[in-house]
């Protein structure tokens, strides 16, 4: 690496360099040669990214990633990885490739993670071309997933391919995860963690504009107001007027109190909570969908509210859900009818498609972690500019690594202005630069001794 100081052994006369400095020099020469190949062979990189984009993997509708994942699995197998492939849902398999290091007990291991699904495409979107027929124009690769995030997958795969071509076997293990379902909260990454895949560090190659990022989290939830009895609408006058004598209520009207309570809590959070890099009030509670009532001739006996909650990197989804429940229980305790008809809560879910719920845990990046520092140096060494460490305004699968106790960071090409957009694109220059950085980082982290 250009900016890495020479290693010295204490006690050698005159600050004489140790044998490690010779190794470091050899590593630097190898990296310079390989990163030069990225520049020379960028047409091959673009062809790989275009190949991935051409697979039609929008979610929703999902259940369409088998062909794309077969291509990724074959790419990894041809480069020496042992591949594990399993269906998370029929038609949507995860692919995990593991390349064992030559000295895995002594050197650091890495997970490279990305999702193969892309945002949905509506029929009425005014694309200049077929979203899955990628093209390069004005220095940009255009196509659905170019920015989010098949560009990131392609760059990481290409870097791995160059290392393989050079006959380089890293001392540390490398695990490559191509997962499904990120766009619809299906957490293919969570399935990888539950399957036992772990490492000393994970890089999520999702959209970050080449910033090294953490993120807040998201959890969805359902709050239900339910009456123990159902009433004809003609009985309403007995519920709402003095002397009516009927202890009943409309679940829809009682939900109005719940929504007011959520607004009160959201304002409280905006004042009392903050996190560096986020604008005040980023932690929101969105009443997204409301469903209730059965017929115009009935008093509504049930009302369901679907909420989306954004929270900060230093919070957990369990803790945030608990705060909301406790606050709404206090709101309900002040209402005579709600006291006798308790609120019901259902949090999260495994799929926005299957059960209308999702969880994205938060991710805090430790800027002093040795892998984060190395990623910064890899960025600076390859591109000659300082790396930016900050927070993403959106969410990725990165939080699942934090939830599993695996240090991680988000680092990928593309920007959020292009993600999910009509004529989605990524800068060719940025894609090439990103591939250079990832090549350096994978190489050097795999040569980093364990303490």
Q: Which of 448, 450, 451, 433 is nearest to 27 (CA)?
A: 448
- List the catalytic residue out of 148, 173, 182, 301: 182
Q: Distance of CA 56 to CAs 64, 105, 183, 368, Å?
A: 7, 40, 14, 40
> Is 433 designated active site?
no
Whole-angstrom distance, CA of residue 20 vs CA of residue 26: 10
> Is 182 designated active site?
yes
- List the catalytic residue out of 92, 117, 200, 206: 117
Tell me the catalytic residues: 117, 182
């Amino acid at each position: 690496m250009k900016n890495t100081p020479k290693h010295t052994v204490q006690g050698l006369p005159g600050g004489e360099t140790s044998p490690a400095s010779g190794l470091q020099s050899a590593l630097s020469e190898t990296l310079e040669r390989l990163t030069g190949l990225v520049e020379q062979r960028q047409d091959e990189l673009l062809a790989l990214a275009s190949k991935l984009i051409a697979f039609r993997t929008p979610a929703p509708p999902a259940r369409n990633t088998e062909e794309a994942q077969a291509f990724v699995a074959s790419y990894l197998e041809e480069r020496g990885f042992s591949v594990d492939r399993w269906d998370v849902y029929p038609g949507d398999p995860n692919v995990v490739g593991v390349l064992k290091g030559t000295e895995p007990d002594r050197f650091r291991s890495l997970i490279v993670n990305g999702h193969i699904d892309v945002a949905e495409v509506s029929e009425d979107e005014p694309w200049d071309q077929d979203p899955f027929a990628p093209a390069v124009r004005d220095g940009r690769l255009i196509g659905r997933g170019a920015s989010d995030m098949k560009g990131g997958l392609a760059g990481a795969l290409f870097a791995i391919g160059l290392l393989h071509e050079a006959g380089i076997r890293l001392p540390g293990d490398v695990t490559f995860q191509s997962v499904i379902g990120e766009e619809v909260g299906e957490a293919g990454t969570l399935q990888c963690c539950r399957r036992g895949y772990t490492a000393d560090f994970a890089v999520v190659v999702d959209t970050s504009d080449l910033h090294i990022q953490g993120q807040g989290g998201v959890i969805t939830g359902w709050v239900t107001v339910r009456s123990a009895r159902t009433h004809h609408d003609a009985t309403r006058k007995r519920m709402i007027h003095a002397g009516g004598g009927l202890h009943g209520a409309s679940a829809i009207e009682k939900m109005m109190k719940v929504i007011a309570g959520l607004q009160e809590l959201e304002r409280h959070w905006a004042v009392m909570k903050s996190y560096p890099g986020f604008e005040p009030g980023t932690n929101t509670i969105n009443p997204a969908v409301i469903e209730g009532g059965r017929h115009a001739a009935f008093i509504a006996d049930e009302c369901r509210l679907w909420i989306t909650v954004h929270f900060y990197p230093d919070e957990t989804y369990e803790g945030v859900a608990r705060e909301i429940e406790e606050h709404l229980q206090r709101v309900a305790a002040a209402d005579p009818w709600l006291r006798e008809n308790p609120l019901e809560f259902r949090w999260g879910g495994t799929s926005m498609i299957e059960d209308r719920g999702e969880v994205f845990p938060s991710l805090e990046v430790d800027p002093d972690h040795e892998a984060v520092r190395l990623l910064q140096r890899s960025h600076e060494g390859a591109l000659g500019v300082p790396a930016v460490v900050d927070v993403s305004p959106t969410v990725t699968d990165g939080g699942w690594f934090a939830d599993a106790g695996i240090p991680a960071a988000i680092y990928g090409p593309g920007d959020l202005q292009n993600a999910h957009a009509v004529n989605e694109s990524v800068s060719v220059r940025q894609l090439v630069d990103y591939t250079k950085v990832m090549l350096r980082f994978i190489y050097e982290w795999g040569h980093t001794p364990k303490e």
